[in-house]
Structure 1
């Protein structure tokens, strides 16, 4: 007699508000009933970073004050996957914060509504215009701002901008959504929400304000003037390394949740900062959740962009050429780790308004964060869109150093490694995929066989590098570095540029 397999095994229960009380005691859960929250924040960009940073900070602020007005409506701009997962589990999800083998597990209940913008019947502009919405936050990446790298203003030829001008009732860009929401508020004589950018670009609030005003001016000059007079766009600086979602995350969450399934968990490092410029109006007590409010974020912004993000680029481009797949692997390499430390202390650091003791402490913290093996920060993700990132993260400090007479071996090698990737990505076994808005034109330049001619062609791209001081010397030294990378490989090329004091990467 044939025995049929038993397919009736029960499936794991799905995370829900009803199961919060049944979670293991080691799991931190909201100190409030998620369903008791009203919606006071609208967030554009329901990705992993938002859920591991702003949403978690908002939960901690609500926990600290018992103020139920700050629930979040989180909007996915394109894909519906995360929205579907959140809706199926009462908008709850798990954060897994990994630190040297330890994991802090917390279920987050600050999101009260998950919205898929393309299929949202109400429409995001109407949500923005709702009187209960006091703050709109954004994590839509730099490309979502539709800013021209040449003019620094709205790119009217951006495809989503053109769409929103043709079809103003159904905007697809964050800029169009904000402008339409403000138009509705203006018509009824309401008070607009504060718009708080949490994206990783210089002057994020200032740039977002300019883009929204430029867009509004293309439709209605009166609306543009009203936005300029009435809407606040404070700058902010965010910092937390968040791991892209992996297939292993749900299994890890299920293990920590005692067999309860979560299809939208996020993994991140424990380190987190959020620096926000003061603005008028109410907000959650984010200061009780680790945020700080300041008059001007410029110094914090430069420190983060040049130390963390610039060094991330150095480790990504050189580490990938050395065959490493993650930032943690590259930072653990003795030569690359030493170069990263030297780059931060001797090149990026002297251009910042940081006391020496604070610089050294920050560098030490960053090296620990870079080497966290539990955070799989892959090279393609870190290295993408390099042409847009060069000026704020690398070239601005490079200019300062050249003008001050300081050597710049790390920046020159970083640029050479980035150039090298336009050809290395086509080679067998490449661990990085080139993703760049100027990929086609740059790939053609990279095919130049002479490394010095190649370096010169890249560095003469003023839309990427602007005007460089001492261009002939810089062309020669980047060309030398490019030639060495091809001829001698990463390790030898890096070691030639190390000061003897940084030979040990643990210094």
Structure 2
């Protein structure tokens, strides 16, 4: 249900800061719980089932904001529609216990706030039956996975969590976590190691293995996850690897929703929307949502009743998502941060950056996709509107992190197709240059973006090369990041030109030089 944000937001005090509700010193502020669901205002949607009555049928690795605003919410809607209580979720936090602690204190309930046009659609979610902190869990993720009730395992652990080489698409055995799991298979720390150990336990008991669904932004995420799991299993037991290859389904899937972690403002919005009840784990997201999953055999929630799509092949959906939304996000993050903007919404409000993003999608990324021109233009228009949503504070560090893992599937693959077809690539070239520049920019005081990257140390060293053309070469020769580039001398020269311009000119000046007349006219 929709609640106007001007009434949902906490009142401001005279200094402009969020003011807390008037609470007497002796009053105990109630915390969200199953017992308080009936006391929620009518404007708040909630589960139609009793959360404590659910059976856990899904194990999820990666209990972050995205999972809670996407799969967990859709699973609640599916259970509401089908009155099927078998699909409660055991949600696993892989590193920090913060979210686990917050959710356990409120019966694993939390609020989703979907922001749109000054309103918030508010819903309390009760599909999570248990929250688990993997490093301290006494049962262990593999043992939980081997529970016969677990029919599905889903993952949102980010691309780097798969320990996959971005060039080969197979397991990177040199990854520290994988190296640990090879030496200590009984106590895995990587998601891949946990899956292998859990599937090994299923095999030993003679059970039917769960379906494993990747929900991360990886091209062919299910196929790559399957390859990584089999690769690790084969390092221990060829029989286990063969059993996994023959018996375990890893369908590809594509997810899309812009989500932000809970903020102090979200805590205030949730408290007011819930009628004064505290929620320490709300999540905010845009209303737009898609989940496209390849068909698979076996029991599952009726996710299609909640808006998911089941198809025979997700390839076209996947490429469109990675090359339009995700690549444009990277463009806006790296250039926007250089221009002094801290969120994607701020960057997209800049006419020059918005025009470049539109040109990048229509003239570079779009021609590499199987989308009719009219559908491509509608998709791009919709993405620009989504990016401009001021209620979604998608910060530059979060969007731009792990850039070296994202270059090939989101940017370089399309750039190579364009070069082969004789099409110019000004947006991709400038994106790469802006990313390179950030390895030195973040060392300055008050930098907008922090660089988080699995290759940070070596790339920071390369970024210290003072000559922009040699610096471009230092980065672009890295096959583990860029693969094999066609016409590498030309690409290096163009990236070097962009690096030199970014060092001497304003970002909007550099951007405008690359705009075609029809896109430049649109910003006047």
Structure 1 match to 2:152? 135
SS of 1:255's equivalent in the other structure is helix
Return the offset for 1:387: 1.1
Asked if the contact 1:195–1:231 (Cα under 8 Å) also holds between the matched residues in 2, the reply is: yes
Matches within 5 A, 1:78-97: 78-97=95-114
Pairing partner for 1:263 from 264, 271, 280:
280
Asked if the contact 2:160–2:402 (Cα under 8 Å) also holds between the matched residues in 1, the reply is: no
Structure 1 match to 2:220? 203
Pairing partner for 2:481 from 464, 468, 471:
464
Return the offset for 1:438: 1.6
Pairing partner for 1:423 from 434, 437, 440:
440
Matches of 1:473 and 1:44, distance apart in 2: 43
Structure 1 match to 2:66? 49
Pairing partner for 1:297 from 292, 314, 319:
314
1:215 aligns with 2:225: no
Matches of 1:453 and 1:155, distance apart in 2: 28
Stretches (4+) displaced over 6 A: none
Q: Considering only aligned residues, what root-mean-square deviation do their CA atoms show, in Å?
A: 1.5
Structure 1 match to 2:267? 250
Matches within 5 A, 1:404-423: 404-423=421-440
Q: 1:283 to 1:460 in 2, by over 3 A?
A: same
Q: 1:504 to 1:308 in 2, by over 3 A?
A: farther
Count of residue pairs brought into register by the alignment = 502
Matches within 5 A, 1:223-234: 223-234=240-251
Matches within 5 A, 1:133-172: 133-172=150-189
Matches of 1:244 and 1:8, distance apart in 2: 30
Q: Deviations over 1:408-450 (max 9, x none)?
A: 1111111111111111112233211111122222222222222
1:382 aligns with 2:399: yes
Return the offset for 1:244: 2.2
Return the offset for 1:227: 0.6
Structure 1 match to 2:208? 191
Q: Structure 1, unaligned stretches of length 5 or more? A: 1-5
Q: Deviations over 1:341-361 (max 9, x none)?
A: 111001100100001111011
Return the offset for 1:249: 2.1
Structure 1 match to 2:410? 393
Structure 2 match to 1:485? 502
Q: Structure 2, unaligned stretches of length 5 or more? A: 1-22
Q: 1:472 to 1:167 in 2, by over 3 A?
A: closer
Q: 1:496 to 1:277 in 2, by over 3 A?
A: same
Return the offset for 1:7: 7.9
Asked if the contact 2:167–2:483 (Cα under 8 Å) also holds between the matched residues in 1, the reply is: no
Asked if the contact 2:167–2:408 (Cα under 8 Å) also holds between the matched residues in 1, the reply is: no
SS of 2:43's equivalent in the other structure is coil
Q: Deviations over 1:361-402 (max 9, x none)?
A: 100110011001001111111111111111111111111111
SS of 1:414's equivalent in the other structure is helix
**TM-score with structure 2 setting the length:** 0.93
**TM-score with structure 1 setting the length:** 0.96
Q: Deviations over 1:141-183 (max 9, x none)?
A: 1122112335322222222222223332222211111111111
SS of 2:86's equivalent in the other structure is helix
1:62 aligns with 2:55: no
Asked if the contact 1:385–1:435 (Cα under 8 Å) also holds between the matched residues in 2, the reply is: yes
Matches of 1:120 and 1:452, distance apart in 2: 50
Q: 1:491 to 1:506 in 2, by over 3 A?
A: closer
Structure 1 match to 2:375? 358
SS of 2:287's equivalent in the other structure is coil
Structure 2 match to 1:344? 361
Matches of 2:24 and 2:391, distance apart in 1: 35
Asked if the contact 2:352–2:523 (Cα under 8 Å) also holds between the matched residues in 1, the reply is: no
SS of 2:367's equivalent in the other structure is helix
Q: 1:110 to 1:504 in 2, by over 3 A?
A: farther
Asked if the contact 1:44–1:139 (Cα under 8 Å) also holds between the matched residues in 2, the reply is: yes
Asked if the contact 1:341–1:505 (Cα under 8 Å) also holds between the matched residues in 2, the reply is: no
Asked if the contact 1:99–1:374 (Cα under 8 Å) also holds between the matched residues in 2, the reply is: yes
Matches of 1:168 and 1:347, distance apart in 2: 45
